[in-house]
Amino acid sequence: MRVEELAGKAGVSVDTVRFYQKQRLLPPPVREGRVAWYTAEHLARMARVKELRRRGFRVTTNTTFFDTDSPQDVIDVLNYLNDDLQVDQMMISPGYAYEKAPDQDHFLAVRQTRELFRKAFANGNRNRWRLNHSPMFLDFLEGKVDFQCTPWGIPCYTIFGWQRPCYLQSDGHVATYRELVEETDWSKYGRDSGNPQCRNCMAHCGYEPTAVMATSKSLKQSLRAMAMR
Ligand code: SF4
């Protein structure tokens, strides 16, 4: 069968079939000239993915945006993930200028980040997308509120131990979470610390925990989060 027939029988869009293929969830089709032929095995695989989703497995994407991306790029990507691929939830982050990144020239500064997301979130887009963030973190991204970083809120643990201070930068590792929390000089981190590595960071690993704590301290914000913005 052709891709349109496979998509129809599986109850998904053609883009979704192609996405699964790209992610190697489906084997490549048999090609005859310019036509791609799919088999019952492809359909069975699609059914298995559907069954896994029914049993509770979730697909959540995490997309990083850079200064080469326009508000329309953000809209196009999130519309595609939300409407065409119909992933369960989506996370977004402005690119963080981490020291070892091969391309240091295209990270977003704070002002650019706020402008990018303010424009992308306009016209009801923000409410329509299934974003896996608290409303206050999204407010933070578009500059409606400002927060300090809480790097210990989403800690990073690897085979080397607990990474200090966060997932994005490494000032060494410790053996326990208690050591991480109690022995790290947290005043050295966050945008207001003067640490050049933190200067333009608005990443969710540092700021979503602050947004969640601010939400839990306010009845209004808690109700807003429960109603999903
Ligand atoms: S601002 Fe926070 S999350 Fe960002 S790099 Fe610095 S410590 Fe890590």
All domains in the chain, ordered by first residue: 1-57 (1.10.1660.10), 59-229 (no CATH)
* Rounded CA separation 131/126 (Å): 8
Is the beta carbon of 152 within 6 A of some atom in ligand 1? Answer: no
Is the beta carbon of 141 within 6 A of some atom in ligand 1? Answer: no
| Mean predicted confidence (pLDDT) in 62-70 | 90
| pLDDT recorded at residue 16 | 85
State which of 149, 171, 200 you would mutate to test the pocket of ligand 1, scoring each by most atoms of that ligand within 8 A of its C-beta.
149
pLDDT digit string, tens, across residues 140-179? 999 999 999 999 999 999 999 999 999 888 899 999 999 9
Question: Is a pLDDT exceeding 70 seen at residue 38?
Answer: yes
Cα of 185 vs its chain's centroid, Å? 28
| Mean predicted confidence (pLDDT) in 57-61 | 90
φ and ψ of 99, to 5 deg: -55, -40
| pLDDT recorded at residue 117 | 95
Percent of the chain with pLDDT over 70: 94
| Mean predicted confidence (pLDDT) in 103-118 | 80
Contacts of 88 (CB under 8 A, 6+ apart): 53, 58, 59, 60, 130
Q: Which two tokens stand for residue 146?
A: 């400002």
| Mean predicted confidence (pLDDT) in 189-215 | 91
The residue type found at 26 is: L
Average pLDDT for the chain: 89
For the ranges 40-49, 104-113, 197-206, 216-225, which has the lowest average pLDDT? Answer: 104-113
pTM of the full structure: 0.81
Is the beta carbon of 190 within 6 A of some atom in ligand 1? Answer: yes
